[in-house]
Chains A and B, each alone.
Chain A
Amino acid sequence: MQQRLLSWLAITLTVLASAWARSSAGDKVLVVSDAKLEAAEYSQFWDGLKNRGYELTFRKTSEEAPATSSFDVPSFSHIIVFAPSTKTYPADISPQSLVHLLSDPTQPTNILFVLQPSTPSSPLRDLGREFGISFPPPATPLIDYFNAVSPSNATSLLLTPPVTPHTPGFNGGDVLYSGVAHLRSNNPLLVDFLNAPPTSFSADPLEPADVIVEVAASGGEGFWAGGRMGLVTGFEVLRGGGRATWVGSLDLFRNAATAINGKPTANNAYALALASWTFQETSVLRIDSVEHRRISESSPRDQYRIKDDLIYRIHVSAYNPATGEWEPTSQIDDMQLEFTMLDPHIRTALSPVQGEKGWYETKFRAPDRHGVFKFIVDWRRKRYTALHSSTTVSVVPFRHNEYPRFLSSAWPYYLGALSTSAAFVLFCALWLLGGNEEEKKKTQ
């Protein structure tokens, strides 16, 4: 946690010093592209990124340098994979190392994957499966006769992605999409950005009718069709906040797609909006600090006693890409705290503190059970950075001198002890006196 904060801080500082990159994670971008790919065809996209303060480094998949990481420290904050046709990648951008970079718990590298239907068997297809995304057979682009640009070209579609706060800069409009669709598994880490139209399906564009006939015969099994299919899918890894986005169309980013038949499209805005989510510009949250203490005290302890009244506070900030600063946010209204030993013993709402922006707190009484407990905040909402914090404390029983000292129910015992003592003293006195008399008798 500490390390992560520090690295963030360092990155933020450098960013502030250099220019003003919009990303919370860093501004170095590596663009990996097919050997045959003409970078100039996408210049509008590159310019858009550069305008937002990113430093782009281009590299063909046939080249070995620059490496994505040196000595296990990632060299770039973001990677754009424009390499749908490459069959083999160099070792440092192999699927395994891309996953490794993406899932780094402290300094993840965000990745934008772009595919193309023509790709026969790109390793990216296999990689998609690891994320829970599966692709239809090769060379079967998305076909839709209802949303097509022209009936003769049913693979170029005009779609209207939804406008969300997570994709700022995109304010509606049609987007030209010509590419492949995919199917999402029920992996909860997947985030849907754009779905295929309900009337679309994947098939060989030369003989689409054959597929439909075949599928109709088999009762619809194995038919890649309908609104469940995804076109643009985001992914947020479990720990570390790394983000990946899968886009099924390389043409989406092409300069040529910014206008169709003379009419401008929203392609560039949408592409940049997708990049801004992927590169952790928007919907980025973090936990700045966590406090816990007894209500009656001001500093935290390693261990609390059972039935102590505790207070737990957490400070959350959101990243503001406009200013490039972290600002406290009190927008979250459904955060919960769990006080857990094996199972949650207490689960309670963390509500924003009035007047202290960014702070959320809850007060509760520790359970009557000693053991090693954890304060756990685990807030996961789609498209937002997951917030996770776990703090371990032990809850101890009463100390031996903290129990009530005099019990009313013990009065019979107190009386018994007192009366026995008194009787003993009395007996001693009488016995001593009696002894004297006996001696007297004897002497007489």
Chain B
Amino acid sequence: MTILKLPTFAPSTLTNAASLIRILALAFIAGAAISSRLFAVINFESIIHEFDPWFNYRATRVLASQGFTEFWNWFDPTAWYPLGRVVGGTIYPGLMATSGVIYNILHALHLPVDIRNVCVLLAPGFSGLTAWATYMLTKELKDESAGLLAAIFIGIAPGYISRSVAGSYDNEAIAIFLLMITFYIWIRALKDGSVLYGTLAAVFYFYMVAAWGGYAFITNMIPLHAFVLLLMGRFSHRLYSAYSAWYAVGTLASMQVPFVGFQPVLTSEHMAALGVFGLLQLVAFVETIRNLLASKQFQLMLRWFLIAAGVAGGLIIVGLTVTKTIAPWTGRFYSLWDTGYAKKYIPIIASVSEHQPTAWPAFFMDLHMLIFLFPAGVVLCFKELREEHVFVIIYSVMASYFAGVMVRLMLTLTPVVCMTAAIALSSLLDTYLNVDEPANPDANGVKETATSGAETPVDGTISKKKKKGVAAAAAAAAVTPSIATKAKGRSSAENGIFGIDTRILVIGNAIFMLVMFVLHCTWVTSTAYSSPSVVLASRRPDGSQNIIDDFREAYYWLRQNTPQDSVVMSWWDYGYQIAGMADRPTLVDNNTWNNTHIATVGKAMSSPEEISYPILRKHDVDYILVIFGGLIGYSGDDVNKFLWMVRIAQGVWPDEIKESNYFTPRGEYKVDDQASEAMKNSLMYKMSYYRFNDLFSGAPAFDRVRNQQMPKEGPKLDYIEEAFTSENWIVRIYKVKKEDPLGRDLKTAHAFDGGKRRKPSKPISRRKALAA
């Protein structure tokens, strides 16, 4: 019994049409994914965003202009002055190599594309590929319709867009694609037991290792999957060959990345993979013997041997870790488990805003309705519980924990949420788009068996949906093939939905949700995630947009008005931008590898001038750059980051810098009259508020970030002088004075220049000591 009579087609026509629609849908999804990431380019311009991308961009330019070998050997004397940075050995080159290859291909095709545009548009481009990879993986979990839904979800979910808008040229831009494709091929390898696919997974794993430090997620997910399958008693030769191929080839390949080196055999993060590899060998060995030998005692012995060998292997790894042969977990990873660890021991890691834990609104903001479809999808995975479903379940548990601990790891959660949500939604659509009605038990036991269930696409509701644009592409494709296959199986089932109104209600509700989702994603992407943070936008009272371009103004000032080799000191957040936009050597940058050097800068910023000055001179600092938001209320400024500078400096010089000295006696962080002496004398405070009072022409100055009234008397500077202040005072640049030519300290020299008289000195009696 069906609720609608649908036209019949030949099966071949149907499959052809379905695959055509699928391809079209995928193409549209990729288009939607790419175009929703272009808000940044349209609102601002084609520009590299934020901080790390500036380094990646600079490195890519070196790669494009000097070739890969030179890039590999690149020693950058302008970073971490004067220590320099061995760039080739301290980065994941995958991203730069990718855009270098694309750049070269385009040029070989005589398309003279600027390397900057390649870099800006790389992330959107790869998001299309990510959508495809997610489609493939979800197809393995359920079917094509779920796959298409997952593809559109990942295509526009803000959780992934936040890291892949045009211009955010960071490792994550390609890493999520690699993550999904590696997982997909792993699942394929596991399903087929194919060594070829296992090797292919290893190849993509290698690409991932070369591209992102987060590869450790794969390194631990796949072994965990294998291990859980073992525990569930699902050992198979498919698992054995897929895992062995992946591990052996993948580990060898990953060691070819200079930055990774011997880590895969020496650090704790990689030990799980090694352990599971060993365990699988043992289990496979035992299985083989068991199949060959029949004796029961022998099998029992084997089982004990297996257990003993496993325990021994585990003990060896533990022993090696204790004796430090295997490096313990690095701070970054360890802080994921022991959440108080970073704050206590590595303030640099804790100071990064994207390493903070995630509050619930961030989850909803990034995933909207997917976040509650997620548990539903997980339950559906439990319903089937094939090997790939086990994988998704493990993935969702791990990723949701990690995303809760660290905001930036929302990125790894997003794909699994999209997949499970797609499974849930497509199951819903499957159920309610099925035109077959079950036999009505009330209708006098007349059991009609529906026969023509297979040929029933598209009634009024669906065509309505088509007008809904993006959502329609996914949903429409969801309908056609699945009904074709599933309905046959279910046609005689007693379960099903009665009536057409129920169907319209549920489907309508689902479509409504999808529309809300699309609107939400568009809104979030355009307002929250498309700011380059190099250029800021604000609204004027009349609603028009006001572009604040202080950063570039200041960086270009540095580039054009200072000698090429003048060293610029700033807090590490701005190191990459100065190197990229101003092209000047910096003391510290966002590659926070040397804590002491950062602490040195922290100390210079938090000490009084006369203590900072020798530090500045020792490091050949010519200019100091500070970010000050007090005038226009830009809250991410250096005074708000100042406590981290103090804290980090205190870690190295606990006797000289004390955090408590920078608070008022009542424990408040103040910059006004009540600010502590240490605070008022610190170089950072002085540089931020130098001549700030002058702006208010007599009226008391007011800091709009901290909402405090400044003291009447502004700070004075003797050892440095103001060189440049940007339009909105966000960036202030100071020049460090040279030693006084007359050998005075600069405070005296400055007083003399100001026309002040020095106190006359008197001869000291040489006989005083005797007299006393």
A residues contacting B by CB (< 8 A) are: 95-96, 99, 102-103, 105, 126, 129-132, 134-135, 183, 185, 187-189, 219-225, 228, 235, 237-240, 242, 303, 341-342, 370-373, 392, 394, 396-397, 399-400
CA distance A219 to B771 in the complex (A): 7
CA distance A134 to B758 in the complex (A): 11
**Closest CB of chain A to B22's CB: distance in Å?**
41
- Assess A372 versus B771: contact at CB under 8 Å? Given A220-B766, A223-B763, A240-B741: no
- Assess A220 versus B75: contact at CB under 8 Å? Given A239-B738, A394-B84: no
Q: List residues of chain B with CB within 8 A of the CB of A240.
A: 741
Q: List residues of chain A with CB within 8 A of the CB of B748.
A: 130
Beta-carbon contact of B83 and A371 below 8 Å: yes
Which residue of B is nearest A188, CB measured? Answer: B743
Q: List residues of chain A with CB within 8 A of the CB of B540.
A: none
Q: List residues of chain A with CB within 8 A of the CB of B619.
A: 342
CA distance A238 to B764 in the complex (A): 27
Q: List residues of chain B with CB within 8 A of the CB of A135.
A: 760
The contact of A400 among B258, B760, B771, by CB within 8 Å, is B258
Q: A126-B758, A219-B765 are in contact. List 16 more A-B contacts (CB 8 A).
A: A95-B752, A130-B748, A130-B752, A130-B758, A187-B743, A220-B765, A221-B764, A222-B763, A222-B765, A238-B743, A239-B741, A303-B77, A341-B82, A371-B84, A372-B77, A394-B84
Specify the main secondary structure of chain A where it touches its partner.
Answer: loop
Beta-carbon contact of B81 and A372 below 8 Å: yes
CA distance A343 to B739 in the complex (A): 19
Q: Is B294's CB within 8 Å of the partner chain A? A: no
Size category of the B interface is: 35 or more
A-B contact count (CB 8 A): 107
Q: Is B656's CB within 8 Å of the partner chain A? A: no
Q: Which of B72, B77, B585, B752 has the most CB of A within 10 A?
A: B77
The contact of B760 among A95, A129, A341, A373, by CB within 8 Å, is A129
CA distance A387 to B72 in the complex (A): 40
- Assess A237 versus B742: contact at CB under 8 Å? Given A220-B766, A221-B764: yes
Scoring B residues 736 to 765 as 1 if CB is less than 8 Å from chain A, else 0, what string do you get? 001111111000110011010110111111
Which residue of A is nearest B78, CB measured? Answer: A372
B residues contacting A by CB (< 8 A) are: 72-73, 75, 77, 81-84, 86, 88, 258, 565, 585, 618-619, 738-744, 748-749, 752-753, 755, 757-758, 760-768, 771
Q: List residues of chain B with CB within 8 A of the CB of A239.
A: 738, 741
The contact of B765 among A103, A223, A399, by CB within 8 Å, is A223
CA distance A156 to B513 in the complex (A): 107
Beta-carbon contact of B742 and A189 below 8 Å: yes
Q: List residues of chain A with CB within 8 A of the CB of B743.
A: 132, 187-189, 238
CA distance A102 to B741 in the complex (A): 9
The contact of A220 among B77, B618, B768, by CB within 8 Å, is B768
- Assess A219 versus B768: contact at CB under 8 Å? Given A188-B743, A189-B743, A237-B741: yes
14 contacts between A and B (CB under 8 A): A99-B742, A99-B752, A130-B742, A132-B743, A132-B744, A219-B767, A220-B768, A221-B762, A242-B741, A303-B77, A342-B618, A370-B86, A372-B82, A394-B77
The contact of B73 among A220, A242, A399, by CB within 8 Å, is A399
Which residue of A is nearest B766, CB measured? Answer: A220
- Assess A103 versus B741: contact at CB under 8 Å? Given A183-B763, A219-B771, A372-B84: yes
CA distance A103 to B72 in the complex (A): 47
**Closest CB of chain A to B616's CB: distance in Å?**
13
CA distance A135 to B760 in the complex (A): 8
CA distance A131 to B82 in the complex (A): 34
Which residue of A is nearest B77, CB measured? Answer: A394
CA distance A130 to B747 in the complex (A): 12
CA distance A392 to B84 in the complex (A): 13
CA distance A237 to B755 in the complex (A): 20
Q: List residues of chain B with CB within 8 A of the CB of A96.
A: 752-753, 755
Beta-carbon contact of B86 and A397 below 8 Å: yes
CA distance A398 to B565 in the complex (A): 24
- Assess A342 versus B82: contact at CB under 8 Å? Given A129-B758, A239-B738: yes
Which residue of A is nearest B758, CB measured? Answer: A129
Q: List residues of chain A with CB within 8 A of the CB of B565.
A: 392
Beta-carbon contact of A130 and B744 below 8 Å: yes
The contact of A303 among B75, B739, B742, B757, by CB within 8 Å, is B75
**Closest CB of chain A to B5's CB: distance in Å?**
55
CA distance A228 to B765 in the complex (A): 11
CA distance A219 to B362 in the complex (A): 78
Beta-carbon contact of A224 and B742 below 8 Å: no
**Closest CB of chain A to B76's CB: distance in Å?**
9
CA distance A216 to B187 in the complex (A): 101
Q: List residues of chain B with CB within 8 A of the CB of A222.
A: 762-763, 765
